[in-house]
């Protein structure tokens, strides 16, 4: 995790709930941040360890449908998709809904091959010091087991105070209602079309939920 170019990512990771020295960015989106981190995770075992533990603890607050939308619409390299699948398989022990991400990626990639990662990340397994983590091995990634470690993870109640996405999901669950509520609070003038296009929900969902929440927002009353 060296260099100035990684500092914005660390600020976003701090915003969604991982302790770093960087000041948290403002309201980083959890799924966007997760996708942005994948390339770095292929070469950084420490960051992989932190993100995997964050996903396990925040599993219920990860919006699966939003993640699937990003997978469908972003040009994500195969190696990074495999990393995402491994992370979701690992976190699915806490939230089974994430298995859908693994299934979707498997259908898209079809033939899973060995993924190139930093050599030092594979070394403990190659030297026989430990078994390969089965969650990642399934997707061609050889890394040691990832043990539970909460010291670097921000408690959810604290993360909810600094990140609007987390706060809305605590209140409404990881759902389109939480996404649309966040969108309206960040941009009260946003159209339903823009919500649908940016978030990835259907027109009907954006219109139905958006109208309900905008009525409350326009009245000056808080959404929570």
pLDDT 10s digits, 152-174: 999 999 999 999 999 999 999 99
Q: How many domains does the chain have?
A: 2
Mean pLDDT of the chain: 93
Domain identity same for 85 and 172:
no
Domain identity same for 119 and 65:
yes
| pLDDT value of position 188 | 81
| pLDDT value of position 221 | 66
Domain identity same for 25 and 76:
yes
Residue 133 structure tokens: 């983590």
| pLDDT value of position 215 | 83
| pLDDT value of position 48 | 97
| pLDDT value of position 224 | 60
Domain identity same for 111 and 167:
no
Backbone conformation region of residue 145, classed left if phi is above 0, alpha if psi is from -120 to 50, else beta: beta
Domain boundary among 104, 137, 170: 137
Residue 142 lies in a domain: no
Domain identity same for 26 and 66:
yes
| pLDDT value of position 216 | 77
Domain boundary among 78, 105, 137: 137
Range of the domain at 105: 4-137
Domain identity same for 174 and 108:
no
**pLDDT exceeds cutoff 70 at 3:** no
Domain identity same for 108 and 28:
yes
Per-residue pLDDT of 126-143, as tens digits, reads 999 999 999 999 999 999
**pLDDT exceeds cutoff 80 at 219:** no
Contact by Cβ (8 Å): 54, 23: no
Domain identity same for 86 and 27:
yes
Q: Which residues of 182-206 are buried (b: 16+ CB within 10 A; e: fewer)?
A: bbbbeeeebebeebbeebbbeeebb
Residue 146 lies in a domain: no
Indicate the pLDDT class of residue 1, thresholds 50, 70 and 90: low
Residue 151 lies in a domain: no
**pLDDT exceeds cutoff 70 at 112:** yes
Task: Please name which of 173, 174, 198 lies closest in space to residue 184, comparing C-alpha atoms.
Answer: 198
**Distance, CA of 58 to CA of 21 (rounded, Å):** 20
Domain identity same for 19 and 127:
yes
Per-residue pLDDT of 63-84, as tens digits, reads 999 999 999 999 999 999 999 9
Domain boundary among 137, 172, 203: 137
Residue 114 lies in a domain: yes
Contact by Cβ (8 Å): 58, 152: no
Residue 148 lies in a domain: no
Per-residue pLDDT of 38-58, as tens digits, reads 999 999 999 999 999 999 999
């Amino acid at each position: 995790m060296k260099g100035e170019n990684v500092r914005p990512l660390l600020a976003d990771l701090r915003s969604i709930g991982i302790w770093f020295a960087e000041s948290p960015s403002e309201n980083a989106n959890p799924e966007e941040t997760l996708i942005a981190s994948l390339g770095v995770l292929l070469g950084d075992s420490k960051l992989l360890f932190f993100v995997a533990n964050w996903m396990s603890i925040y599993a219920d607050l990860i919006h699966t449908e939003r993640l699937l939308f990003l997978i469908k619409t972003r040009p994500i390299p195969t190696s990074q998709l495999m990393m995402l699948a491994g992370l979701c398989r690992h976190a699915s022990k806490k939230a089974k809904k994430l298995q859908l991400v693994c299934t979707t990626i498997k259908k898209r990639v079809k033939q899973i091959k060995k993924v190139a990662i930093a050599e030092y990340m594979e070394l403990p397994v190659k030297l026989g010091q430990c078994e390969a983590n089965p969650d990642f091995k399934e997707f061609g990634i050889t890394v040691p087991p990832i043990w539970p470690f909460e010291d670097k993870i921000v408690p959810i109640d604290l993360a909810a105070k600094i990140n609007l996405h987390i706060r809305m999901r605590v209140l409404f669950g990881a759902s389109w209602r939480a996404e649309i509520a966040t969108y309206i609070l960040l941009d009260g003038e946003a159209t339903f079309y823009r919500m649908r296009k940016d978030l990835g929900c259907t027109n009907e969902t954006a219109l139905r939920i958006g109208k309900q929440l905008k009525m409350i927002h326009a009245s000056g009353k808080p959404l929570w």
